Chain A
């Protein structure tokens, strides 16, 4: 008689897989993607397409000719990196710069460590920060938002982001209240133009200048809820991250409301929502244990506000997450899950 297959237990497996987790993340990014196309039009479509195709191509080539391992393209992680990179750049970024960003993200940020799961830093953020430092002008010219099919406006018109405008004006000595009331005045082609800080409602829906994916807090929240239900992300990192941003910026605001903006402004502008839900929660580059994830989120929140308020850049989410990525091995070493039976000893 024939012999049966033998192997160690367990003999069954849950229906999760890396591929399914990655695909859930891709679905979760769709709302933010639609909002970016709505407000930035074809520019957004172009950036996303180039970024995704370039990321997938680099991953395929490196896996096939350098690593010579089994194909990893189907796991979907290159698509995520591509979309996230696109989410983190302005919609008028020249094609060649997007391709360089995708190369740095995939080749240096991910594949040089050995591929998915081995990378220390979030690949999309590695690409983004590389571009920000290498092409500061292109990376910080933000096309003005306009609803899809609206006439009369082109990508050529650029405006600052709320965070950028605020930072510049604060340096000039204005108070937060003056900036909020009067807007920011600057010269464009010899004419005086006033840029008004968007209302909370505008920033909630996404009608503000910024990178593709970061503008709409609502779209990001919808995606985040989906990921939460699919158990792709856990509550620890976003809660600790956003919580510490609110507390830390809240303290500054209460001490001196004339020179520090309120926590809600910090929450709704810039890349905080995108970072807290989509990038800090990247499972590969975040701590494993629940306690470790809380520490990670806390650190990222404090660093974000430090950079936004006291640093040279108006935005600090990418740097904060990358810096905390570097601490993950140490956090994992220090913050262990509670072992069963540990309560007895003190």
Chain B
């Protein structure tokens, strides 16, 4: 945002025209005051675009949560944001739109963050889609010896990669190298019904209950308890004092319920 602010705003303007709307809001979390200041300054030159500072909160970037934070409307279960009159796009998308429309450049490049506790030179790289991840790691000073886990994406929602011999794809936002000591999960113990998973769930679900229901393969109940609303943010798993693998079970349940819903439609 600091480097490509102007381009993002132009991209936003193009998106607004395409959608036929006259108001756009840019939400930035308030732990990035320089970005907020910079964008607010720049946005003055663009009619209908306003920059909003948001409280730091996870998960904020998920579209339903972002809509709630910005215009205080809740997207109903199973519906799309347009239901409440909103469309959400990433800053990266706005930039890509700018490049595609103004520069006639298709999406062949993206910015990838390479970081990790033991990484020598954590950096952002602008690379072509298809660049091997190994090359990025080399450019950042090589793979640290203690690396035990490699994550494509962020620590909460990213996917663990089996090896570095994979290319950057259009969805690769970052590569995180984790030391081996942090790569393993804790020992699972009994649920102590503390209710922390309910408190943190941004969708108002009961992860402890869904876990139990999925364990018993009662997928109809899981569906009734709105398992499909789960956005897989991982907050429940993160906060569980008993180290329970809540999100794993929720994923299993979601895929089973999805199958159930598809067969019902036929």
A64 at the B interface (CB under 8 A): no
| A5-B184, A11-B149, A340-B229 known; A21 vs B194 contact (CB < 8 Å) | yes
B126 at the A interface (CB under 8 A): no
User: Taking chain A's interface residues, is the majority helix, strand, or loop, or is none over half, making it mixed?
Assistant: loop
Q: How far is the CA of A18 from the CA of B162 in the complex (A)?
A: 31
Q: Which residues of A from 288 to 346 have beta carbons under 8 Å from B? A: 288-289, 332, 336-345
A17 touches B241 (CB 8 A): yes
Q: How far is the CA of A343 from the CA of B178 in the complex (A)?
A: 41
Q: How far is the CA of A337 from the CA of B64 in the complex (A)?
A: 18
| A4-B147, A340-B204 known; A117 vs B192 contact (CB < 8 Å) | yes
State the Cβ distance, A336 to closest chain B Cβ, in Å.
7
Contacts of B240 in A (CB 8 A): 16
Contacts of B163 in A (CB 8 A): 1, 3-4
A156 at the B interface (CB under 8 A): no
B248 touches A8 (CB 8 A): yes
Q: How far is the CA of A118 from the CA of B161 in the complex (A)?
A: 37
Interface size class of B (residues with CB under 8 A): 35 or more
A137 at the B interface (CB under 8 A): no
Contacts of B238 in A (CB 8 A): 10, 12-14
| A18-B189, A283-B193, A339-B229 known; A289 vs B77 contact (CB < 8 Å) | no
A284 touches B193 (CB 8 A): yes
User: Please, what's the 1-or-0 string for A98-118, where 1 marks a CB less than 8 Å from any CB in chain B?
Assistant: 000000000000000011111
Contacts of B196 in A (CB 8 A): 16
A339 touches B183 (CB 8 A): no
Point out the residue from A7, A115, A341 that lies within 8 Å of B64, measured CB to CB.
A341
Q: Which residues of B from 168 to 199 have beta carbons under 8 Å from A? A: 176, 178, 180, 182-186, 189-196, 198
A6 at the B interface (CB under 8 A): yes
Q: How far is the CA of A242 from the CA of B104 in the complex (A)?
A: 68
B234 touches A4 (CB 8 A): no
| A4-B183, A117-B191, A340-B202 known; A21 vs B241 contact (CB < 8 Å) | yes
Among the stretches B44-52, B151-159, B257-265, the one at the interface with A is B151-159
B115 at the A interface (CB under 8 A): no
Contacts of B203 in A (CB 8 A): 339-340
Q: How far is the CA of A188 from the CA of B226 in the complex (A)?
A: 66
Q: How far is the CA of A340 from the CA of B202 in the complex (A)?
A: 7
B141 at the A interface (CB under 8 A): no
B114 at the A interface (CB under 8 A): no
Point out the residue from A5, A9, A288 that lies within 8 Å of B195, measured CB to CB.
A288
State the Cβ distance, A284 to closest chain B Cβ, in Å.
5
A and B contact pairs by CB, cutoff 8 A, 17 listed: A3-B163, A4-B149, A4-B160, A5-B180, A9-B153, A9-B234, A9-B237, A10-B238, A18-B241, A114-B190, A117-B192, A117-B242, A283-B192, A288-B193, A332-B209, A337-B206, A341-B64
Which residues from chain B sit less than 8 Å from chain A, CB to CB?
64, 68, 74-77, 79, 147-151, 153, 155-165, 176, 178, 180, 182-186, 189-196, 198, 201-206, 208-209, 226, 229, 232, 234, 237-243, 245, 247-248, 251
The 10 nearest A-B residue pairs measured at CB: A10-B234, A117-B190, A6-B160, A339-B204, A340-B203, A341-B76, A341-B74, A283-B194, A288-B195, A10-B156
New A-B contacts (13) at CB < 8 Å, excluding given A13-B237, A283-B192, A344-B76: A4-B162, A4-B183, A5-B148, A5-B149, A6-B162, A8-B251, A21-B241, A117-B193, A289-B206, A338-B204, A339-B205, A340-B204, A341-B79
